Structure 1
Amino acid sequence: MMNFSNELRDELDEIEAAGLTKRERLLTSPQGAHITTVQGPALNFCANNYLGLANHPEVVAAAHEGLDGMGFGTASVRFICGTHTQHRELEKEIAEFLGTEDAILFPSAFDANGALFEVLLGNEDAVISDSLNHASIIDGVRLSKAKRFRYENRNMAELEQCLKDAQGSRRILVVTDGVFSMDGYIAPLAEITALAEQYGAAVAVDDSHATGILGSHGAGTPAHAGLSDRVDIVTGTLGKALGGASGGFVASTGEVVELLKQRGRPYLFSNAVAPSLVAGARTALRLAREGDDLRERLTKNAEHFRSRMTEAGFDLLPGSHPIVAVMFPGEDGARQASAIAEDMLKLGVYVIAFSFPVVPQGRARIRVQLSAAHSEADVDACVDAFIASRDRVAHR
C-alpha cells in the first residue's frame, strides 16, 4: 500500500507542477450573487444559479414544507417504497414544461445520462456523440454495447458521415449537449434534427445548461430552436437554473420512460430524490416558467459583461449564453488563468479557472457565469477585477 500511495503522490505532484491542481474554496453562506467564503465576502460569478433561485425565499419555504411533511429522506429506491406522490407530480410537471409524454427523476443528471444509453442501445445499435459532450454522456455511452461514433463539435459534415457509417444499425441515436458547458456554445439543433431525420436516427439532448434559460418560458434549446416536437429525448438537471439543488431527469415518450423504470440501474439502485428537494424543485420550476423577467435580466447582464470585457481587450469565445469563456490560450495559459482567478478573489470576485483535463490542453479559461441575481454594478465590479488582476499578475 505504501508503494501505491507513493505512486499516487508522484502523480499529484505532477498535477501541481503543471499548475493544474483544483482546490475547493469553502463557502460560509447560502448560494447567491453575493456570498461569503472563508476568505471573506465575494461576488459570485461561477455558479450555475442562472435565475437566482438557489436561495429564493419561495423555494426555501417549499423545501421546508417538504421536509416537515415528508421527512428527511426516502430510505428506499423508487420501486420499493421510495415514491411519494410529489415525485410523480414533479415528473408530470417536467414533461408538461418540455412538451413530452412523461419524465423520470434520477438522483442527478449524471445518473440520468448514466442510465439512458445502456437501457436503450445494444450491440446492434449505434450512438453518435459530439466531441465536447459532457462527461456524463461520455461515461453513459461507455456503458452501452452500441457502436460508437464521434464528430467534432458542431461539425455537421462529420455528423453526416457518422450517420452514413452507422447505417444498417437497428437503432441510431445522435446525442448532443444543448449548451456546451465550457464554451457557452448552443448546439445547432435545426441541422442535427434534419440530418437525423434524413438518416433515420433519433436525437437526444442534454439540456442541463439551457433548461429554465433558453426558449419560450425557459423550455430549453429545443424550444429555442422551435424544434420541441423533433427532439426525441431530453435529459436535464434540477441542480442549475431550477433551484440549484440536486436531481436529474429524462423526458421523452412513455415507452422510453417506462423502459428506464424497468432497467435503468441508477433508478433501480439509488435512493429516490429527497422530499425537500422535490418540493423545492417544483416551486423553482414554476418560478422558472413564469420568469420571463428573470431571463430578460440574465440576457442583459451577459450582453453587458461581454461588451465591457471585449472593450478591455480580453479574449472571449463568441456567443449569447450566460456562460462566458474568458480564454488564456497557450502553454502558460493554465498558470495565468489560475493566478488571475486567485487574485480576483482577493478583490472580492469569485471565479474559477479551468484547465486540462476539464478542457483541452492549451485552452485554459476562466468560465464566468452570469445570473439574473447580479446587478449591473455587480457585473461592472467583476470586469474591473478582471482588469486589475490581469495587470497585477502581468507585473509579478
Structure 2
Amino acid sequence: MPFNLSLAGRAAAGLKRSVPAIDRVNGRWLHAGGEQYLNFAGNDYLGLSRAPELQAASEQAARDYGVGAVASPLVVGHQAIHRELEAELCDWLGLEAVMLFSSGFSANQAVVKALLGKEHTLWQDRLNHASLQEAGLLSPARLVRFAHNDMAALEGRLRPSAGLIVSEGVFSMDGDTAPWPELVKLARQSGNWLMIDDAHGLGVLGNEGRGTLDEQGLAPTSVNIFMGTFGKALGVSGAFVGGSRALVEYLHNFGRSYIYSTHLPPPQAAAVLAAVRLVRRADDKRAHLRNLVSQFRAGVAALPLQLLPSATAIQPLVVGEEAATLALAAALKQQGLWTGAIRPPTVPKGSARLRITLSAAHTEADVQRLIDALHSAL
C-alpha cells in the first residue's frame, strides 16, 4: 500500500513520527518508562495544569452537570457553565461576544471555511500554524502566503476589500511575535478583515495576560476575529473565537465544526473558567517566566547553535540536521531533561530544532540544569 512506502521514506529521512509513551505529566515533571524528567517540551506556560483551583472547579462541575455535555451546543449542550465562561472571556478580553470550541484546530477551520468563498482571498503568514494553513487549503478562497512577518511583501500582494488577513500572535515554532500595529494599519488601509490566532500569547503577554494585542498597545477591536486556546497558558484544553455579536451569530449558523460537534464537557469549561480567573491575577507568574527566559537566553548565548530571537516562553535552538537534532534531544534525555525535537515538515527543511519551552512552574535551578546539560552535550 502507498502509505507503507510513505512511512518508509519518512523513516529513512529521519522524519518518522511516533507517539511517545508518556505515563503522566505532573507540573514541571514528566514521567515515562519508570523515569522522571524535567519537562521542557510542553505548553503549560504558567504551570496551571495542576493548580488545585482548576481541579476543584472541574470536580464540582462533574457533580453538578455530569462529565459530558451530551449534545452539540445548538441542541442541549450549551449550559450555564458555558455561558459563565463566555461572559468571563468577554470581560477579560474586552470582546463583544465569544463562542467555545473543542480545539483551536476546529475553531480555525470553522472561521476560515464559514467566512470565505471563492470570490475571496486569504492572506497568511508563511509560518502560521498548520490548522490555519489547512483551513486555507480546504476553503474555496484564493490562498496567498507571504514571507514571515514581512509587511512589505504582504502590502505588495494585498487587494482592496477582498478577504481576510490571518497571522499568529506568537509563532508556535519560532517564538517571535507578529508586528500587529503594522498588520492593523494594512488591514484598515486595504479594507480587509484581520484575524489573530493568539494561542501562544494569551495568558502570557499583556496586562492581566490579555495577549499579544494588549502587549503591543492595541485594543481587541483592532482585529475583526480573535481566536485563543485554553490548552497553553490556561493549562486545560479547548478554544474560543471572539469578535462582534454579528460575527458570533453568523458562526453559530455556519461554523460546521461548532454546529456538529459535542460541546465542551462542563468540567472542562469550569476548569477553564477557574484558569481565566487565576491568569488575570498572575502577574507574579508572568514576571517569573520572563526572568527564566532571560536566564536561559544568557546561559546558552555562547552555544554553537542558532538561538532564534524570541522573548517568549518558546525558545528554539536550531540544530539544522534532523539526525543531529534527535541525537541532542536523546543526550539531554540521558541527563533527565525532556525536550521537543522538531523536524520538517513542521519547520522548514534545514531548520530542525529543539523547541524548548519554559514554564512559571520551573525554578531557576531547573533552567540552570538545562543550560549546563546543553553545554556538556555540545
Matches within 5 A, 1:18-167: 18-163=13-158, 166-167=159-160
Whole-angstrom distance in 2 between the partners of 1:23 and 1:168: 44
The 5 Å alignment of 1:233-272 reads 233-243=225-235, 245-272=236-263
Calculate the aligned-residue CA RMSD, in Å: 1.3
Stretches (4+) displaced over 6 A: none
1:342 to 327, 330, 335: 330
TM-score, normalised relative to structure 2: 0.97
Structure 1 equivalent of residue 345 of structure 2 = 357
Q: Which residue of 2 aligns with 1:326?
A: 317
Once residues 114 and 15 of structure 1 are traced to their aligned partners in structure 2, the CA distance between those partners, rounded to angstroms, is 27
1:262-308, CA deviations, whole angstroms, 9 ceiling, x for partnerless residues?
A: 11101111100011110100001111111000100011011101110
> Separation in 1 of the partners of 2:239 and 2:161?
33
Q: How many residues align?
A: 377
User: Which shifted more, 201-210 or 92-101?
Assistant: 92-101
CA displacement at 1:25 relative to structure 2: 2.3
- Does 1:274 pair with 2:265? yes
Whole-angstrom CA distance in 1 between matches of 2:339 and 2:34: 14
- Distance apart, 1:120 and its partner CA: 1.5
SS of corresponding position for 2:290: helix
Partners of 2:94 and 2:156 lie apart in 1 by: 31
Give the C-alpha shift of residue 168 in structure 1.
5.8
Q: Which residue is 2:165 aligned to? A: 174
Instruction: Quote the offset at 1:249 in angstroms.
Output: 0.7
Partner of 1:293: 284
Counterpart for residue 394 of structure 1: none
Is the CA contact 1:30–1:55 (under 8 Å) kept in the aligned structure 2?
no
- Alpha-carbon offset, residue 39 of structure 1: 4.7
**What is the TM-score with the length of structure 1 in the denominator?**
0.92
Gaps of 5+ in 1: 391-396
In structure 1, what residue type is equivalent to 2:178? A
Q: Does the aligned pair in 1 maintain the 2:161–2:191 contact within 8 Å?
A: no
More deviation, 276-285/14-23: 14-23
Give yes or no for the alignment of 1:224 onto 2:212.
Answer: no
Structure 1 residues 127-164: Cα deviation after superposition (integer angstroms, max 9, x where no partner) = 2111111111112222322222221100011110121x
Partner of 1:183: 174
Shift of 1:311: 3.1
**Deviation per residue, 1:213-255 (Å, 9 max, x gap):** 0111110111111112312211111111112x22111011101
Aligned to 2:354: 366
Tell me, which stretches of 5 or more residues in structure 2 are unaligned? Answer: none
The CA distance in 1 between the partners of 2:265 and 2:176, in whole Å, is 33
3-state SS of 1:24 partner: coil
Task: Tell me, in whole angstroms, the C-alpha distance in 1 between the residues paired with 2:279 and 2:161.
Answer: 42
In 2, Cα distance between equivalents of 1:295 and 1:19: 37
Of all paired residues, the percent bearing the same amino acid is 37
Query: What is the SS of the residue equivalent to 2:301?
Result: helix
The Cα shift of 1:389 comes to 2.5
Q: Secondary structure at the match of 1:43?
A: strand
